[in-house]
Homo-oligomer: A and B are copies of this chain.
Amino acid sequence: MRINKLTDYGIVIAVHIASDGPERLHTAREIAAGTRIPQPTVTRLLKQLARSSILTSTRGASGGYSLAQPPEAISVARLVETLEGPIALTECSGTVCDCALEGDCATEVPWQTISLAVREALDTVTLADMVRPSLTPPLVPLGGIRA
């Protein structure tokens, strides 16, 4: 019931960029120093985020990374899905299920529903919400979960 540490790092990195000039170019080294995440790891995550068009990269000297969209447009759900694949709490809550349990896999449908609910919860939180949290709404209600 945890997200990967790498995913966590990836989000920290994205938040760092968002909070420190989302359009400015940030190098891997600078981000590593700013977040205290080991640089090779930062490098790897930045590549991954750039490949999925969450960041834009500029190669060469004085290159770096910046957000491809404004922080409000990038949800935590998207970051999680990019960094660790579809949000599915169990193996059988995705599209395929080849488990041998219980023959008819009675729990499959409920898990799909649960996973969807989790996904939508993550979808309501954006990078903008993660930056310097205001401790007041808009974040706290989190989109009306649990009315």
Query: A residues near B, CB below 8 A?
Result: 1-4, 7-8, 11-12, 15-16, 19, 34-37, 76, 80, 84-85, 87-91, 100-102, 106-107, 109-110, 113-114, 117-118, 120-122, 124-125, 129-133, 135, 139-140, 142-147
Asked if residues B89 and A3 are in contact (CB atoms below 8 Å), the reply is: yes
Asked if residues A90 and B146 are in contact (CB atoms below 8 Å), the reply is: no
State the number of copies, please. Answer: 2
Nearest residue (CB) in B for A131 is: B106
Min CB–CB distance A8 → chain B (angstroms): 5
Asked if residues B2 and A90 are in contact (CB atoms below 8 Å), the reply is: yes
List residues of chain B with CB within 8 A of the CB of A114: 76, 121-122, 125, 142
